[in-house]
Structure 1
Amino acid sequence: MTYTVKDILALQVAPALGCTEPVAIALGAAAAVSLLPGRQIDTIEIWVDPNIYKNGLAVTIPGTGGLNGLDMASALGAMGGDPTLKLEVLDPVDDAAVAAARSMVGDGRVTVHLLREQAGLYIKTVVSGHGHAAESVITGLHDNIVSLALDGQAVTESELLPKSPSANGKSHLAAMETWLKERCLDDLIELLDHLDDDDYDFLETGVNVNRRLAEYGLKHGPGLGVGRTFERLVRQGLIKRDMITAARILTASAADARMSGARLPAMSSAGSGNHGLTATLPIVAIEPFIDVDHAMVLAAIGLSHIITAYVKAHTGRLSAICGCSVAAGAGATAGVTYLMGGTKAHIAGAIKNLIEDLAGVICDGAKCGCALKLATAAGTAVQAALFSLHGVNVSFTDGIVGRSSEDTMRNIGTLTTQGMIETDRTILNIMLEKQFSDV
Structure 2
Amino acid sequence: MGKNKILTILQKELVIALGCTEPVAIALAAATAKSYVTGQIEEIKVKASGNIIKNAKSVGIPGMTAKGLDFAAALGAVSGDPNQQLEVLNGLTIEDERMAIKLIEEGKVTAGQADTPKRLYIEVIVRTDKQCSRAIISDNHTNITLIEVDGIAVYRGGCENIGIQTDEEELEALTINEIYEWVLQADLTDLGLVKKSIELNRMIGMEGLYGNYGLNVGKTIKENVKKGILSDDLATSAMSLAAAGSDARMAGSILPVMANTGSGNQGIAVTLPVVAAAEKLKVSEERMIRAVALSHLITIHIKSKFGRLSALCGVTAAGMGASGAIVYLLDGGLQQIKAAIQNTIGNVSGMICDGAKAGCAMKVSTCSNVAVQSALLALNNQEIQSTDGFIHDDVEKSIESFCKLGNEGTRQTDELILKLMLEK
TM-score, length-scaled by structure 1: 0.92
For 1:97, the equivalent position in structure 2 comes to 96
| Amino acid in the other structure paired with 1:220 | G
For 1:63, the equivalent position in structure 2 comes to 63
1:4 touches 1:191 (CA, 8 Å); kept in 2? Answer: no
Once residues 374 and 95 of structure 2 are traced to their aligned partners in structure 1, the CA distance between those partners, rounded to angstroms, is 48
For 2:305, the equivalent position in structure 1 comes to 314
> Root-mean-square deviation (CA), in Å?
2.0
For 1:347, the equivalent position in structure 2 comes to 337
Q: Compared with structure 1, are the counterparts of its residues 279 and 177 closer, same or farther at alpha carbon in structure 2 (3 Å cutoff)? A: farther
Q: Compared with structure 1, are the counterparts of its residues 228 and 176 closer, same or farther at alpha carbon in structure 2 (3 Å cutoff)? A: same
- Aligned to 2:347, the other structure's residue is in SS state helix
Unaligned ranges ≥5, structure 1: 435-439
For 2:365, the equivalent position in structure 1 comes to 375
Once residues 400 and 30 of structure 2 are traced to their aligned partners in structure 1, the CA distance between those partners, rounded to angstroms, is 36
Once residues 162 and 218 of structure 2 are traced to their aligned partners in structure 1, the CA distance between those partners, rounded to angstroms, is 38
2:175 touches 2:301 (CA, 8 Å); kept in 1? Answer: no
- Deviation, structure 1 residue 80: 1.0
Equivalences for residues 52-201 of structure 1 within 5 A: 52-65=52-65, 67-156=66-155, 165=158, 171=162, 173=164, 176-177=167-168, 179-192=170-183, 195-201=186-192
- Deviation, structure 1 residue 152: 2.3
Once residues 205 and 409 of structure 2 are traced to their aligned partners in structure 1, the CA distance between those partners, rounded to angstroms, is 35
2:188 touches 2:286 (CA, 8 Å); kept in 1? Answer: no
2:38 touches 2:130 (CA, 8 Å); kept in 1? Answer: no
Once residues 174 and 412 of structure 2 are traced to their aligned partners in structure 1, the CA distance between those partners, rounded to angstroms, is 30
- Aligned to 1:36, the other structure's residue is in SS state coil
Cα deviation digits, residues 289-309 of structure 1 (max 9, x gap): 325321121111112111111
| Amino acid in the other structure paired with 2:375 | A
Q: Compared with structure 1, are the counterparts of its residues 173 and 373 closer, same or farther at alpha carbon in structure 2 (3 Å cutoff)? A: closer
Once residues 283 and 109 of structure 1 are traced to their aligned partners in structure 2, the CA distance between those partners, rounded to angstroms, is 46
| Amino acid in the other structure paired with 1:11 | K
1:200 touches 1:295 (CA, 8 Å); kept in 2? Answer: no
Unaligned ranges ≥5, structure 2: none
For 2:291, the equivalent position in structure 1 comes to 300
| Amino acid in the other structure paired with 1:88 | E
Farther-moved stretch of structure 1 (118-127 vs 418-427): 118-127
Runs of 4+ aligned structure 1 residues displaced above 3 Å come to: 169-175, 193-199
- Among 243, 253, 263, which residue is 2:234 paired with? 243
1:218 touches 1:227 (CA, 8 Å); kept in 2? Answer: yes
| Amino acid in the other structure paired with 2:218 | G
- Deviation, structure 1 residue 351: 0.3
Once residues 334 and 175 of structure 2 are traced to their aligned partners in structure 1, the CA distance between those partners, rounded to angstroms, is 11
For 1:209, the equivalent position in structure 2 comes to 200
- Aligned to 2:47, the other structure's residue is in SS state strand
1:177 touches 1:310 (CA, 8 Å); kept in 2? Answer: no
For 1:365, the equivalent position in structure 2 comes to 355
Q: Compared with structure 1, are the counterparts of its residues 178 and 51 closer, same or farther at alpha carbon in structure 2 (3 Å cutoff)? A: farther
Once residues 177 and 267 of structure 2 are traced to their aligned partners in structure 1, the CA distance between those partners, rounded to angstroms, is 23
For 1:437, the equivalent position in structure 2 comes to none
- Deviation, structure 1 residue 113: 2.5
For 2:41, the equivalent position in structure 1 comes to 41
Percent identity over the alignment is: 38
Once residues 171 and 365 of structure 1 are traced to their aligned partners in structure 2, the CA distance between those partners, rounded to angstroms, is 22
2:245 touches 2:268 (CA, 8 Å); kept in 1? Answer: yes
- Aligned to 1:222, the other structure's residue is in SS state coil
- Deviation, structure 1 residue 331: 1.1
For 2:273, the equivalent position in structure 1 comes to 282
- Deviation, structure 1 residue 193: 5.2
Once residues 262 and 170 of structure 1 are traced to their aligned partners in structure 2, the CA distance between those partners, rounded to angstroms, is 31
- Deviation, structure 1 residue 198: 4.4
Once residues 5 and 351 of structure 2 are traced to their aligned partners in structure 1, the CA distance between those partners, rounded to angstroms, is 31
Q: Across the two proteins, how many residue pairs are aligned to each other?
A: 423
For 1:13, the equivalent position in structure 2 comes to 14
Farther-moved stretch of structure 1 (307-316 vs 347-356): 307-316
1:57 touches 1:365 (CA, 8 Å); kept in 2? Answer: yes
- Aligned to 1:281, the other structure's residue is in SS state helix
User: Given the alignment of the two structures, is residue 390 of structure 1 paired with residue 389 of structure 2, yes or no?
Assistant: no
TM-score, length-scaled by structure 2: 0.95
User: Given the alignment of the two structures, is residue 411 of structure 1 paired with residue 401 of structure 2, yes or no?
Assistant: yes
2:16 touches 2:87 (CA, 8 Å); kept in 1? Answer: yes
Cα deviation digits, residues 371-408 of structure 1 (max 9, x gap): 10000111111111111011111001110111111111
- Aligned to 2:201, the other structure's residue is in SS state helix
